[in-house]
């Protein structure tokens, strides 16, 4: 019988190698128990991993749409608040005009002019509101303030003064009290053309007629802003200007009534136009909500498929990890005993 020489150092090294491999496997199993997925999906799935990658790419695209829709929702909400403020300003002008209809008292007219100036300032502030550094009512010109305020020296003020001066000169009018109701009706028609035509963009607006269009799903886009070139905005400015400039002049009662009634009509058109813009944005809000519901369903479905492909049984992984930890502890014990072996103990 022949015996072979076996070194206890060789046995220790073999045990050490087993422990190192076990520790790596424990780390892998701990990750799988925590995440519920393969620690290395590519190695486990092989060719099937390409399907998992495709599904994850689609999942990322859908989640990106959800993030974009959150911004769109905030933009729409801020735009709706601005339009609501502008609509209330139009209603304030209309209420003030109704209260002063047929009233020629200078102090009452002065108070009315102050109220209307306040409404115009609130309207301009709402029209020029910003969201995330972008002007909401500028259309696609988001870096440009959409509406120029009506003040002394502003283009709109200069244009009105020039038009009124030319009107009086053409009609031989030297005093405001000489203006007739028919002449005032004609002049208001001239001013209306300045606000409904191309001069609007020269005197008042720097906004684009093209609104921002946002993609809310794979095959659906919606307008997510409005702009200061809409009919409601133009008619509000027209109502405010003719009231501010003409109502307090030394006019005959019937002429002042023409100014008042015309301004009321424009204020009412402004309110209607702003409600229409708000309704358009409301439709966009509804479509975004429905798109998000659809996206949530798609994300849930795809996530389920990914989990089916990459998922592991956490209970099985936990059992394997506990078994492996027991084996490692046993290896530590054996290694410790081998290290204590010495020939001296047998001499």
Q: Calculate helix-pair angle for 314-340, 8-35, nearest 10 degrees.
A: 160
List all residues 6 or more positions away from 338 whose beta carbon is below 8 Å from its beta carbon: 8, 11, 12, 15
- Residue spans per domain, the chain: 79-280, 313-347
Q: What pLDDT does residue 106 have?
A: 86
Residue 202 has pLDDT above 90, yes or no: yes
Model pLDDT for residues 244-283, shown as the tens digit of each residue:
999 989 999 999 999 999 999 999 999 999 999 999 999 9
pLDDT band (50, 70, 90) for residue 84: very high
Give me the mean pLDDT over the 158-181 stretch: 94
State the average pLDDT for the chain.
83
Q: What pLDDT does residue 305 have?
A: 76
Give me the mean pLDDT over the 25-39 stretch: 56
Q: In this prediction, what percent of the chain has a pLDDT beyond 90?
A: 60
Do 192 and 221 contact (CB within 8 A), yes or no? no
Residue 240 has pLDDT above 70, yes or no: yes
The pair of structure tokens assigned to 2 is 């022949």
For 218-243, b/e burial (b = at least 16 CB within 10 A) is eeeebbbbbbbbbbbbbbbbbbbbbb
Do 302 and 55 contact (CB within 8 A), yes or no? yes
Model pLDDT for residues 43-55, shown as the tens digit of each residue:
455 556 667 677 7
Q: In this prediction, what percent of the chain has a pLDDT beyond 70?
A: 73
Angstrom distance (rounded) from CA 93 to CA 96: 5
Angstrom distance (rounded) from CA 342 to CA 64: 66
What is the pTM for the complete model shown? Answer: 0.76
The pair of structure tokens assigned to 329 is 């502890």
Give me the mean pLDDT over the 202-217 stretch: 93
Give φ, ψ of 210 to 5 degrees: -90, 120
Q: What pLDDT does residue 43 have?
A: 47
Do 120 and 266 contact (CB within 8 A), yes or no? no
Residue 17 has pLDDT above 90, yes or no: no
List all residues 6 or more positions away from 61 whose beta carbon is below 8 Å from its beta carbon: none
Model pLDDT for residues 300-340, shown as the tens digit of each residue:
888 787 666 655 556 565 666 566 666 666 655 555 555 55
Angstrom distance (rounded) from CA 118 to CA 85: 12
Angstrom distance (rounded) from CA 181 to CA 253: 9
> Class assignment of domain 79-280?
mainly alpha
Give me the mean pLDDT over the 28-56 stretch: 59
């Amino acid at each position: 019988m022949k015996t072979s020489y076996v070194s206890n150092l060789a046995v220790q090294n073999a045990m050490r190698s087993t422990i190192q491999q076990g520790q790596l496997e424990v780390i892998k199993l701990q990750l799988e128990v925590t995440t519920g997925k393969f620690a290395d999906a590519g190695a486990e799935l092989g060719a099937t991993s390409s399907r998992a990658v495709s599904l994850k790419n689609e999942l990322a695209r859908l989640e990106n749409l959800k993030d974009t829709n959150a911004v769109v929702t905030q933009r729409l909400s801020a735009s709706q608040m601005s339009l609501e403020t502008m609509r209330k300003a139009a209603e304030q002008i209309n209420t003030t005009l109704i209260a002063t209809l047929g009233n020629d008292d200078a102090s009452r007219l002065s108070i009315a002019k102050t109220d209307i100036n306040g409404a115009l300032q609130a309207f301009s502030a709402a029209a020029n509101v910003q969201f995330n550094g972008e002007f909401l009512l500028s259309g696609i010109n988001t870096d440009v303030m959409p509406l120029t305020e009506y003040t002394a020296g502003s283009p709109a003020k200069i244009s009105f003064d020039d038009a009124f001066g030319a009107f009086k000169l053409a009609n031989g009018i030297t005093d405001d009290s000489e203006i007739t109701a028919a002449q005032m009706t004609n002049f208001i028609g001239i001013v209306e053309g300045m606000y409904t035509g191309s001069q609007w963009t020269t005197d008042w607006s720097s906004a684009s007629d093209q609104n921002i269009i946002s993609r809310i799903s794979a095959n659906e886009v919606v307008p997510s802003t409005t702009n200061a070139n809409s009919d409601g905005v133009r008619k509000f400015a027209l109502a405010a200007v003719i009231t501010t400039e003409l109502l307090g002049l030394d006019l005959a009662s019937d002429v002042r009534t023409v100014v008042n009634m015309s301004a009321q009509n424009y204020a009412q058109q402004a309110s209607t136009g702003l409600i229409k813009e708000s309704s358009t944005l409301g439709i966009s809000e509804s479509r975004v909500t429905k798109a998000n519901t659809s996206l949530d369903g798609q994300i849930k479905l795809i996530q389920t498929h990914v989990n089916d492909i990459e998922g592991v049984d956490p209970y099985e992984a936990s059992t394997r990890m506990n078994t492996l930890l027991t084996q490692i502890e046993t290896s530590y014990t054996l290694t410790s005993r081998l290290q204590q072996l010495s020939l001296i103990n047998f001499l």
